[in-house]
Amino acid sequence: MPAGKYTYVIERGPEYTRGNGSFEIKSGSTTEIKEKLSRLINMASKGWWSGELHVHRSAKDIELLIRAEDLHIAPIITWWNRSNKWKNSQIPERKVVSFDDNYFYDLLGGEDERNGGAFMYFNMEKPVDITRAQREYPCPLYFIEQAKKQPGAWIDIEKPFWWDVPVALAYGYGDSIGLLNNHCWRSRMLDSEAWGKPRNKKDFPSPRGNGFWSQHIYYHILNSGIRIAPSAGSASGVLGNPVGYNRVYVFTGGKNLEYGRWWENLRKGISFVTNGPLILPSVSGHKPGHVFKADKGRTVKLDVKLDLVGNDPVDSIEIIKNGSVERTVSFAEFNSNGGLGFLQFTKSGWFLIRVIADIPHTFRFASTAPYYVEIGDEKHYLSRESIRFFKDWVDERIGQINIDDPEKLEEVLKYHRKAKQFWQQRLSLANAD
């Protein structure tokens, strides 16, 4: 480094305090800085294990990187549309590598990123050949169907606003969805939806608008009766984030991490996503993903509690119920009361807890996966507005698809037409505005 004055920040993921300061380098001399980072919390000791689902880093560096960030699971992308690392190389017998007891990385992560959006592939036995795919042909669901023939294959919908999301949901494809995705950077927000469905910037203004748009769409998904767990990804290696900046914590219990159980409980939504605040939610003694059940005519009353730590000041703590903010609690009030109060349901629905950090230049937050409430025979909250939102979305997408070959066009459109039927049928089942 050239001579001069510098400032620094040292981090090791969100579970440690930050080290920061300034120093000066003088020509011909050595400057040494020593910082000891203290633990804020040991999430693993409480049964919560961290991971993230969007890593573009090399296998030779990944052990150092995830150890440095205290990240326990990190599948790495080794095949995508433009290249396939395994085309001329033998697929390793051990596809999931473990080290230091409780750290894992998957060598066979894949990404199909085209006009319809990006879909991530994990826990595969072998890659799907997507290198000859065109921007619109074949439909992403064609490759997902191939992948699903492999036992244990996991499909992550990389962002909620990708154009083919309502089609994938209609087919039941998607084991998780990137609620906390790579448009959230440590230093700033990416302010556009790239080639995905654009937001109305009056309703979702910068700089946090893109993040709230992703959440808005996710809440519409839940309001349509589709239960899919949130995931997180940083795209370190191609975008401006360290590995694990956006991460998902999954509760598995136990002193050691079981790789298969982590994914199983991620699917169940026993989890929360974060790029800052660390939370330990408990609702009437239960973790996220729990389904509270009651007979018709009964009222479900829930005691909502939360432990919260982090490096950043907290702006607000919110309970989101059926897509709307049900309650907002200031950090001062939360500190005073030590809880979020009681929440009541007289009909089936869902809710989650969201914590937003007071960091104005980016969107730093934590969100639990949903809790669900089932009262009587109607098990789902089905909003007409939300279902129509996706039905109209599919219509708009159909109008975009431009393929010169009539046979190829028909092959793609058959997925979208069936999805349109799904959303139309679901609209007839709506039980809420």
Of 23-37, 53-67, 390-404, the range with the lowest mean pLDDT is: 23-37
pLDDT tens track for 103-138 = 999 999 999 999 999 999 999 999 999 999 999 999
pLDDT of residue 337 exceeding 90, the answer is no
Tokens 């459109």 belong to residue: 413
- DSSP 8-state class, residue 90: P
pTM as predicted: 0.97
Per-residue pLDDT, 203: 98
88: its two tokens: 């001329």
As a whole number of angstroms, the distance between CA 198 and CA 210 comes to: 9
- The CB-side HSE value for 432 (13 A sphere, CA atoms) comes to 19
DSSP calls for 117-171: EEEEEES-SS----TT--SSSS-HHHHHHHHTTSTT-EEEE--TTSTTHHHHHHT
Going by C-alpha positions, the residue among 218, 274, 220 that lies closest to residue 250 is: 274
> What average pLDDT does this structure show over 234-245?
98
- N-terminal to C-terminal alpha carbon distance within the chain: 61
pLDDT of residue 100 exceeding 90, the answer is yes
Hey, is 47 helix, strand or coil?
A: coil
> What average pLDDT does this structure show over 213-229?
99
Omega before 138 within 30 of 0, i.e. cis: yes
Hey, is 133 helix, strand or coil?
A: coil
pLDDT tens track for 340-390 = 999 999 999 999 999 999 999 999 999 999 999 999 999 999 999 999 999
Confidence band of 406 (pLDDT split at 50, 70, 90): very high
Per-residue pLDDT, 192: 96
pLDDT of residue 45 exceeding 90, the answer is yes
Domain map (residue ranges) of the chain: 1-40, 42-275, 277-381, 384-427
Share of the chain above pLDDT 90, in %: 95
Share of the chain above pLDDT 70, in %: 100
- The CB-side HSE value for 94 (13 A sphere, CA atoms) comes to 5
Query: Per this entry, what is the length of the chain?
Result: 433
> What average pLDDT does this structure show over 10-18?
97
pLDDT of residue 339 exceeding 90, the answer is no
286: Cβ–Cβ under 8 A, 6 or more apart, which residues?
292, 371
Q: What is the CATH number of domain 277-381?
A: 2.60.40.10
Per-residue pLDDT, 1: 83
Per-residue pLDDT, 312: 97
Going by C-alpha positions, the residue among 169, 152, 151, 170 that lies closest to residue 160 is: 169
Confidence band of 165 (pLDDT split at 50, 70, 90): very high
Report, at the CATH architecture level, how domain 42-275 is classified. Answer: Alpha-Beta Barrel (3.20)
> What average pLDDT does this structure show over 281-291?
99
57: Cβ–Cβ under 8 A, 6 or more apart, which residues?
65, 76, 236, 237, 243
